[in-house]
């Protein structure tokens, strides 16, 4: 079934065309779209409002679902984390974070990641491959079905963040296709305004996104206030240094809607990027480019193979106060799901590391 069409990545008009090529009337396409995207059904057998014969034909040439949940972890704070596998056996990780007034689902755009951020476990996998639109949409179906039951309407709104594994702007076409599918009122109805895409700083794609109508919000992972330090922590900086990145942000800023703000993310690494001098440099950088953004400070989630520790609460508070005194709106992101390794890239990489360790111990990797 490697050539099978992944139906979860198709918009309603695309599904209508697809069924028409099978000689079926257009309304069957709309029925199929509602079954997959609104009722979140994951097998043709369950779509009993379609004729049996059509279901049999569909199962021969198409797939209603391709991802399989390998492991599921539920944190004491309610956060749920999933390690899934693609049809070709690659890891995909997704996190569901319930909050009082909304749920947030953090999804992956790639399996592994080609960028080499030194504070990230996913980086150690390298890029396995980019995910298809269908695989992106499926992550949301799986998380919602698990949290509320198949097809049950979530009691709160759902926000999405592309902050799982991968660099979303290196898979922009598939990501935008997925967002179009998810925005359909007859499906999930999660509009781009509820979606934030986080980038390590792929400058040309930031500029492309700025020109996209119905685009999601943008967050930029900074991690350092100077090129020297950022080159070390996020090697993508050697290709697009801070001045280029912030100039692109300035272009993006001009496209912001009323009330919308650009977000910067700053992972706090003990003794590496968290001094008062770093805070001053960071404030000066944003102020020099005259960018009115929101700054999220993210306490680092320590993980064995990574050489970093999280900054202390006092250091984070001092950093925040200094930024605020320079006019930067700063928030500290509360870590969720720490007991289940719910930080960017940690689950898939951790599992793969464990598998490698086990394989190494019996000499299978030699």
Binding site for ligand SF4 (CB under 6 A): 113, 115, 117, 120, 122-123, 165-167, 200, 344-345
- Dist CA 61 CA 25 (whole Å): 18
- Dist CA 240 CA 274 (whole Å): 23
Show the beta-strand stretches assigned E in the chain: 5-6, 62-63, 68-74, 80-85, 91-98, 102-106, 110-112, 127-130, 157-162, 195-199, 217-221, 263-268, 294-299, 329-332
A 10 A CB-CB count for 102 gives: 13
Burial of 261 (0-12, 13-18, 19+ CB in 10 A): middle
| Shorter beta-carbon distance to ligand SF4: residue 50 or 348 | 348
Name 62's bridge partners: 5
Residue of 93, 167, 253, 265 marked active site: 93
Closest to 115 (Cα-Cα) out of 46, 155, 167:
167
Residue of 46, 249, 344, 358 marked active site: 344
214: region left, alpha or beta (phi > 0 left; psi from -120 to 50 alpha)? left
Active site residue 344: yes
Name 51's bridge partners: none
- Smallest gap from residue 161 Cβ to ligand SF4 (A): 12
- Smallest gap from residue 228 Cβ to ligand SF4 (A): 18
Active site residue 120: no
- Smallest gap from residue 337 Cβ to ligand SF4 (A): 17
- Dist CA 141 CA 146 (whole Å): 8
| Shorter beta-carbon distance to ligand SF4: residue 29 or 164 | 164
| Shorter beta-carbon distance to ligand SF4: residue 170 or 285 | 170
- Smallest gap from residue 114 Cβ to ligand SF4 (A): 7
C-alpha neighbours within 13 Å on the C-beta side of residue 57: 11
Name the strand (E) or helix (H) holding 352: helix 346-361
| Shorter beta-carbon distance to ligand SF4: residue 146 or 270 | 270
- Smallest gap from residue 123 Cβ to ligand SF4 (A): 4
- Smallest gap from residue 344 Cβ to ligand SF4 (A): 5
| Shorter beta-carbon distance to ligand SF4: residue 78 or 302 | 302
| Shorter beta-carbon distance to ligand SF4: residue 16 or 195 | 195
Show the CA angle centred on residue 240, arms to residues 238 and 241, nearest 5°.
70
Tokens representing 168?
A: 């979303």
Please list the active-site residues.
93, 344
């Amino acid at each position: 079934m490697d050539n099978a069409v992944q139906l979860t990545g198709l918009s309603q008009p695309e599904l209508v065309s697809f069924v028409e090529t099978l000689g079926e009337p257009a309304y069957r396409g709309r029925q199929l779209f509602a079954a997959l995207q609104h009722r979140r059904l994951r097998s043709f057998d369950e779509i009993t409002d379609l004729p049996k014969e059509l279901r049999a034909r569909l199962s021969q040439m198409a797939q209603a679902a391709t991802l399989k949940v390998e492991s599921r972890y539920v944190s004491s704070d309610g956060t749920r984390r999933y390690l899934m596998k693609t049809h070709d056996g690659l890891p995909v990780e997704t996190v569901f974070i319930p909050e009082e007034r909304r749920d947030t689902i953090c999804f992956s755009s790639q399996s592994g990641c080609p960028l080499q951020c030194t504070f990230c476990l996913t980086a150690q996998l390298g890029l396995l491959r980019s995910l298809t639109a269908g695989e992106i949409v499926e992550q949301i179906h799986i998380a919602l079905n698990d949290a509320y039951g198949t097809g049950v309407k979530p009691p709160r709104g759902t926000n999405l963040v592309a902050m799982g594994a991968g660099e979303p702007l290196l898979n922009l076409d598939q990501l935008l296709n997925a967002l179009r599918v998810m925005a359909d009122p007859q499906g999930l109805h999660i509009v781009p305004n509820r979606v934030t895409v986080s980038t390590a700083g792929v400058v040309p794609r930031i500029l492309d996104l700025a020109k996209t109508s119905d685009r999601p919000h943008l967050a930029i992972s900074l991690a350092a206030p100077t090129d020297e330090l950022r080159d070390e922590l996020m090697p993508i900086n050697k290709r697009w240094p801070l001045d280029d990145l912030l100039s692109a942000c300035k272009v993006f800023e001009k496209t912001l809607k009323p009330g919308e703000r650009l977000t910067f993310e700053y992972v706090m690494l003990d003794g590496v990027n968290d001094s008062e001098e770093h805070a001053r440099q960071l404030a000066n950088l944003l102020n020099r480019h005259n960018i009115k953004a929101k700054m999220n400070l993210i306490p680092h989630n320590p993980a064995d193979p990574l050489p970093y520790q999280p900054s202390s609460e006092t250091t984070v508070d001092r950093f925040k106060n200094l930024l605020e005194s320079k006019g930067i709106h700063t928030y500290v992101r509360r870590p969720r799901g720490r007991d289940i390794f719910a930080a960017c890239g940690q689950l898939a990489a951790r599992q793969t590391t464990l598998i490698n360790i086990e394989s190494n111990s019996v000499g299978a990797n030699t």
